[in-house]
Amino acid sequence: MFAAENGLKGDPRLQAISEAIRVVPHFPKPGIMFQDITTLLLDHKAFKHTVDIFVDRYRDMDISVVAGVEARGFMFGPSIALAIGAKFVPLRKPRKLPGEVISEAYELEYGTDCLEMHVGAVQPGERALVIDDLIATGGTLSAAITLLERVGAEVVECGCVIGLPEVKGQCRLNGKPLYILVEPREIDNCC
């Protein structure tokens, strides 16, 4: 569900967030319109709006774990976790975490990948939120959900800054709710 469909229609913060995201055409390959959130992070007001909207949504949901997907979920997840009184758990690419890990492989459009989490980072029965910057196919979020559920967590929702309006990936999320702030921007027609 998009934030604008859930009580935030016309909220100027959503427009500010959208406008702060730079579109880089043909990156990392031809035909891709890359949604660059680094420019959102440079705009402290838009960055704060992003975190505030997520915090307002999740503050009263008894979430004890905010799981951020590498790497851009790390930029939003810790701030959200601190504000709602939850711990932050990084879901990393293979061989990035020291110590014992649990892994979940998943399919991408162009191959396979894997997410890992420290063993013992999440306890059975904990209520978890998964945060990432963007959802396209849903493969990464689906792997995150599976990883958390394998250790007994209850995944309450997935939250993304950007999502396609026809989010095909939502059907891959095993029925878990998806909350999206803005749709992807097209390149500006300024030049």
Contact present, 93 and 113 (Cβ < 8 Å): yes
State yes or no: is 109 an active-site residue.
Answer: yes
DSSP per residue, 156-189: EEEEEEEE-TT-GGGGGSTT--EEEEEPPPPPP-
Longest alpha-carbon distance in the chain: 54
Q: Are strands 111-118 and 178-182 parallel, antiparallel or unpaired?
A: unpaired
User: Of 72, 92, 116, 172, which residue is the catalytic one?
Assistant: 72
- What the block records as the tokens of 138 is 């849903």
User: Of 5, 100, 109, 186, which residue is the catalytic one?
Assistant: 109
- What the block records as the tokens of 72 is 């851009």
DSSP per residue, 94-144: TT-S-S-EEEEEEEETTEEEEEEEETTSS-TT-EEEEEEEEESSSHHHHHH
State yes or no: is 72 an active-site residue.
Answer: yes
Contact present, 7 and 14 (Cβ < 8 Å): no
Residues classed as catalytic: 72, 109
